[in-house]
Structure 1
Amino acid sequence: MSLRNKISLSNFFTGILVVFVLAMLFSPSFKGVVMQNLMKIGLFQPSIPDGPTVEVAAEINTATHNREILFKNMNDEVIELSDQKGKVVFINFWATWCPPCIAEMPTINKLYSSFRDNENVMFMMVDVDNDPIKSQKFMDKRKFDLPVYTPASPIPSSYMGGAIPTTLVLNKYGQVVFKHEGMGDFSNAEFKDFVNQLIEE
């Protein structure tokens, strides 16, 4: 191969690398797609607790005791979290501009599809930007069926300390039994079994 061809090939790969880096920096959707592919090879698996409760849950439940947490659905109805006792509640704090949120959303949608007709399970995709119209457009564009909510009261820092995505699962007694900060693959069989175990408790 001639020196000119080597330089041209080098310039080509350098150009591809620059485009990739720029896309990662400025396109949340592209970054989300890259992260989705990393999940497909087994990365970002959430750590499922062995038992019905975990240590962090005790701290969360103590910090939020007797403090009502409110959300609003797309019909402007206010939902009291304490009223959901008797159901397993899956809560995901997210935003439309957040690449890890975009990356994990298909896995949450797949999990939701497994439980959408189960009245003992509730899913809440909580838009931290409090922009329900933009969030619903995001869901519609990607053909996700996930129910969008917005905060209607202050969210305790023990629930969501500023990192998104943050995912919580509450058992039927209203206790937090799972908390995961950052992207996770919630479509795996182990997590589905975990939710089923909580339903049967």
Structure 2
Amino acid sequence: MNKTKLSRGNIILYVVLVVLIILLFIPSTRSLLQQGLMKLGLFKPTLEAPVEKAPDTPVVAQVSSSFSNEKGEIINTASLKGKVVFINFWATWCGPCIQEMPSIQVLHDKLKDNPNVEFLLVEIDHENELAKEFMEKEKLNMPIYFPEGDIPNTWLGQSIPVTVILDKEGNIAARHEGMADYSTKQVEQFIVDLSNK
């Protein structure tokens, strides 16, 4: 009798595993699964408080980069000194990038009236029309930017999505590679604390 229960249990386990594997290969269910896992807290961004420099630490040259918006207006991150800058590097073809966008929208909505915080969602492939269509389709209203030159490799590595948060001095306060849920109170508080310094 135990063997029968064990066999049924194994069969149910195998059926569940096969269904989950199949669901992972269907794009629409994969995105729902990824968003669900983000809401469960499995994709938390890495946020660490900036390390205070010792007085005798040599000053390292800060990096900056230029980006253009849909209107062709160019902004350089060096001109944003005095603000906390949330930069998300993404592309329209990147599934994890697309999955984290709603959480970034939530964060943007919470902080958009803070004059000390700036959001730059940088579509790295310069696909203006595709990026605009994506934002409209998903009902997202965040500012889209495109690279105007090289992006520092301390910001963008070999994969996307990557999110970089710069403090008011232009230093990296946090950098997270991979999909994450940015709608949490922890992320909001991290940025607010930086903006109040």
TM range (shorter): 0.7 to 0.9
The question of 1:33 aligning with 2:32 is answered yes
The Cα RMSD (Å) is 2.5
For residue 4 of structure 2, what is the aligned residue in structure 1? Answer: none
Q: SS state of the match for residue 160, structure 1?
A: coil
Partner of 1:7: none
Identify the match of residue 20 of structure 1 among 9, 13, 23.
Answer: 23
Q: 1:15 to 1:181 in 2, by over 3 A?
A: closer
Task: Report the Cα offset of residue 69 of structure 1.
Answer: 1.1
**Superposed CA offset, 1:152-190 (max 9, x none):** 011121110121000000011111110000011111111
Change over 3 Å in CA distance of 1:125–1:117 after alignment to 2: same
- What is the number of residues matched between the two proteins? 181
Structure 2 residue aligned with 1:74: 70
Q: Which residue type is aligned with residue 36 of structure 1?
A: Q
Q: Extract unaligned runs of 5+ from structure 1.
A: 1-9, 56-60
Look up the match of 1:52: 50
Describe the shift of the 1:15–1:188 C-alpha distance in structure 2 as closer, same or farther (beyond 3 A).
closer
Structure 1 residue 14, shift from structure 2 partner: 9.4
Structure 1: 4+ residue segments shifted above 3 A: 12-19
Q: Which whole-Å CA distance do the structure 2 matches of 1:21 and 1:190 have between them? A: 29
8 Å Cα contact 1:112/1:146 also seen in 2? yes
Query: How far apart are the structure 2 equivalents of 1:54 and 1:150?
Result: 32
Aligned to 2:141: 145
Gaps of 5+ in 2: 1-11, 54-58
TM-score normalised to structure 1 length: 0.81
Residues 37-186 of structure 1 mapped to structure 2, 5 A cutoff: 37-49=36-48, 51-53=49-51, 62=60, 65=61, 68-186=64-182
The answer to which structure has the higher helix fraction is 1
* CA shift for structure 1 position 33: 2.4
- Quick check: 1:163–1:181 contact (8 Å CA) kept in 2? yes
Say yes or no: does 1:197 pair with 2:196: no
TM-score scaled by length of structure 2: 0.82
Task: Give percent identity, aligned residues only.
Answer: 38
Comparing 93-102 and 82-91, the one that deviates more: 93-102
> Structure 1 residues 166 and 31 mapped into 2: Cα distance closer, same or farther (>3 Å)?
same
